[in-house]
C-alpha cells in the first residue's frame, strides 16, 4: 500500500495541534502588500497579515511559488 502525505498551502486555517495530529505539511504562501513581500508564517503572522491588509493601499498577490522548493526537497 502506498504512503499518503497531506500537503496544503498556508491559507488553510488549522491549528498547530491539528497540523501535528494529522502530520500535514504546510507550504507557506508568499504575500505582497504595498510592494513588500512576506512569507506566510515565517516573516508575517496571521494577526500582522490582517492588520497590514486593513491598512494596505494595495495588495497585489498571494502565490505559492515555494511549491517548487517543496518538490525539490521532498524528492531528494
What's the maximum distance between 2 C-alpha atoms anywhere in the chain?
A: 51
Q: Has residue 62 been placed in a domain?
A: yes
Whole-prediction pTM value? 0.64
Confidence of residue 67 (pLDDT cuts 50, 70, 90): low
Give the 3-state secondary structure of residue 47.
helix
Q: Model confidence over 1-48: pLDDT tens digits? A: 678 889 998 888 889 999 999 999 998 888 888 888 899 989 999 899
Domain for residue 43, yes or no?
Answer: yes
Specify if 1 maps to a domain.
no
CATH code at 31? 3.40.50.10170
Amino acid at each position: 500500500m502506498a504512503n499518503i502525505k497531506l500537503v496544503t498551502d498556508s491559507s488553510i486555517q488549522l491549528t498547530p495541534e491539528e497540523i501535528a495530529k494529522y502530520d500535514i505539511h504546510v507550504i507557506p504562501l508568499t504575500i505582497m502588500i504595498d510592494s513588500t513581500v512576506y512569507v506566510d508564517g515565517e516573516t508575517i503572522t496571521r494577526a500582522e497579515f490582517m492588520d497590514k491588509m486593513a491598512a494596505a493601499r494595495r495588495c497585489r498577490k498571494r502565490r505559492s511559488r515555494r511549491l517548487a522548493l517543496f518538490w525539490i526537497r521532498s524528492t531528494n
